């Protein structure tokens, strides 16, 4: 499957997260993104070094700036279960705006065409690192990384596109 591209419609699919009341929610991506300008960024794995030290912190630090430019939702997705994503989210106590979404079986990542085979590292099929800017379900920017790179999918890269 070809990776999602500029001009594509964001596919729908279900993801899970724990809400502010610590209740497990399963929702469609469209319910989070329809009628809104959103950033959807994906990481290969919770608690992994680049994801935890650079990618996620950048979006947390730049969240207010992204919001000031019209972004209404900042969504982080990873092929992990919702309990892992909840535990990982708690390691970012300053986070007020990034929602941590679990794509437990990688079904949504597959729908985006953004799988990354990390079996050699014992991680199985995960998500490529990426950042998408989506406006009312239409993809406006696709910043897709190759392998384990972190060169084009940062919060600063999305800010440059706004």
Q: Which residues are catalytic?
A: 51
Helices (H) and strands (E) in the chain, counts: 7, 9
What tokens appear for 32 in the block? Answer: 């989070």
Burial 76-89 (b: 16+ CB within 10 A, else e): bbbbbebebbbebb
What tokens appear for 145 in the block? Answer: 């990384």
Ramachandran angles phi, psi of 161, nearest 5° = -85, -15
Q: Are 10 and 34 within 8 A, CB to CB?
A: no
> What is d(CA 151, CA 79) in angstroms, rounded to the nearest whole number?
21
């Amino acid at each position: 499957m070809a990776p999602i591209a500029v001009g594509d419609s964001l596919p729908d699919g279900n993801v899970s997260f724990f809400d502010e009341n610590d209740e497990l929610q399963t929702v469609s991506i469209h319910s989070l993104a329809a009628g809104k300008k959103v950033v959807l960024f994906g990481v290969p794995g919770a608690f992994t070094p680049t994801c935890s030290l650079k990618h996620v912190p950048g979006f947390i630090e730049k969240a207010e700036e992204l919001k000031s430019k019209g972004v209404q939702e900042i969504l982080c997705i990873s092929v992990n279960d919702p309990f892992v994503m909840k535990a990982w989210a708690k390691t970012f106590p300053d986070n007020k705006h990034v929602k941590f979404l679990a794509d437990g079986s990688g079904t949504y990542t597959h729908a985006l065409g953004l799988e990354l085979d990390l079996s050699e590292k014992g991680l199985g099929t995960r998500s490529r690192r990426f950042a998408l800017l989506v406006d009312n379900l239409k993809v406006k920017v696709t910043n897709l990384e190759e392998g384990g790179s972190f060169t084009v999918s940062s919060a600063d890269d999305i800010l440059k596109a706004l």
